[in-house]
Amino acid sequence: MNPQKCCCCIPLKIGVVIISLLWLVYGFFCLMSGIYIGSIFRAIQPNAVGGSRDFSIVVAFIGGSLIIGAAFGLFVLIFILYCTNRISAYARERRAKDARRAQTHYL
């Protein structure tokens, strides 16, 4: 089975880019909200230890992880598209060269 559509209606490559960008935006949101929550609780209770401080660290860590994962996904997608185009261009050139060589060999 070779999927050609993302979410049953969007071409696969475009869908992958859209989903990666959504994850990237969500990662930035989580990172900023974790930092914001941490700064609010630090302002309210400067010497607090536990719950709220740990929660903000976890949320910021999850956001940072999402950013790294989404950026890596976009990088890989761009790299694969670039390499695929280069490889297909090389294959076309090689087939044309082999066809010319075969024609001259049989003559």
List pLDDT tens digits, range 33-71: 888 877 776 666 666 665 566 777 788 888 888 889 888
CB 23 within 8 A of CB 59: no
- pLDDT recorded at residue 19: 86
- pLDDT recorded at residue 11: 85
Rounded CA gap, 9 and 17, in Å? Answer: 14
Tokens of 44: 């309210």
Domain boundaries, the chain: 10-106
In degrees and rounded to multiples of 5, residue 49 shows phi and psi of -130, 140
- pLDDT recorded at residue 86: 76
List pLDDT tens digits, range 62-81: 888 888 988 888 888 888 87
Percent of the chain with pLDDT over 70: 83
